Structure 1
Amino acid sequence: MMKNFWIIASCMAAAISTAGASNLLQEQNIPLNLAVEIAQNAIQACTDEQYSVSAAVVDREGVLRTLLRADNAAIHTPDAARRKAYTAASMRTVTSTIVKNVQNPGAAQLVAIDDFLVLAGGVPIKVGNETIGAIGVGGAPSGDIDESCATTALKEVGDKLQ
């Protein structure tokens, strides 16, 4: 009798855990090897234009995956790159769009969010409509150039983001 109880209890527990599993999220995230490749591509894109920059790639939650600083990149550029990537991952949009949005009084306080850096140069990394990470580039003379290097880096790995 007790043996049957444990068999029934085990079956019920398995059924409950299976039912609960269907409610779990299935999320994609940026793997380390791809994060490194994207950061290297961004550094190279800016180096080709004679700019020494840093490039950071964060995962879908804004956690740093990789950070590279080019030779001769200024001391502030690693932190700027990381914060731009964090901002792009958090908002799921390019940071140049956020720069425009904060001109609206209703969005002006976005600049007060801890670790946000509202400057152009952060770009989300997407697979379809899902953001799996973001890249931030810092150190070129303007955020538009930083963003261009980030976008170039993502185009170079586009086939891997399918």
Structure 2
Amino acid sequence: MKTKFTKTLIFVSALAATDIAGAQDSDQPVMVEIRRLSMDTALTIAKTAIDACREQGVQVSVTVVDRGGHPQVVLRDVLAMDLSLEVSYRKAYTAMTFASTTSSLEDRFTGPFSVGKLEKVLLSAGGVPIQASGETVGGVGVSGAPSGETDENCALAGVAAVEMDLEMASF
């Protein structure tokens, strides 16, 4: 019995070693380079969004998240409600996750157990993905304006402020 177990263990180990060796021969690189927004770029997006909303007489909160959904820059104008901080984060996270404006997702998930019921996901206008050369590198969310349309226009202004720089970045 012990001999049979030992033979089986040796066979399984040899099989696993073969799979590992085969994986090393694949075309996959050992390391993967991941592009991220610089802090200055993220700050420019957020500040431009704040300024765009101020021009319309609205004070808002803005969150810029990186490609992993982690807050990189968070700004809240003086009179923006505290709740707008969390809402702007969720909009940014959702836009980054789905690589789509949150306004285009508003009617997409309507079932009782749909993706829209996840904790960080918010399907409300005001979130915009940040893309460079077709790759999503983050998201920006704006909250606090009287309408989601205004929130989204301010977020779009923020992304537009760095759009040329993002496209010119070498990938």
TM-score, shorter chain, exceeding 0.5? yes
Q: Is the 8 A contact 1:59 1:133 kept in 2?
A: yes
Q: Is the 8 A contact 1:39 1:57 kept in 2?
A: yes
For the aligned residues, what is the CA RMSD?
2.0
Aligned residue pair count: 143
2:72 match = 65
Identical pairs, percent: 34
1:85 aligns with 2:59: no
1:123 match = 128
Amino acid at match of 1:82: Y
User: Which runs of 4 or more aligned residues in structure 1 lie more than 2 Å from their structure 2 counterparts after TM superposition?
Assistant: 19-27
1:144 match = 149
Q: Is the 8 A contact 1:101 1:108 kept in 2?
A: no
CA displacement at 1:65 relative to structure 2: 0.2
Amino acid at match of 2:148: G
1:98 aligns with 2:96: no
- TM-score (norm: length of structure 1): 0.81
Task: Specify which of 159, 162, 165 is matched with residue 160 of structure 1.
Answer: 165
CA displacement at 1:20 relative to structure 2: 8.7
1:4 match = none
Rg larger for: 2
Task: Specify which of 75, 90, 110 is matched with residue 115 of structure 2.
Answer: 110
2:11 match = none
Q: Is the 8 A contact 2:102 2:125 kept in 1?
A: yes
Task: Specify which of 52, 57, 74 is matched with residue 59 of structure 2.
Answer: 52
Structure 2 stretches lacking a partner, 5+ long: 1-23
CA displacement at 1:133 relative to structure 2: 0.5
SS in 2 for 1:118: coil
- TM-score (norm: length of structure 2): 0.77
Q: Is the 8 A contact 2:44 2:161 kept in 1?
A: no
SS in 2 for 1:141: coil
Q: Is the 8 A contact 1:83 1:116 kept in 2?
A: yes
2:83 match = 76
Supply the distance in 2 between the matched residues of 1:102 and 1:139 (Cα, whole angstroms): 23
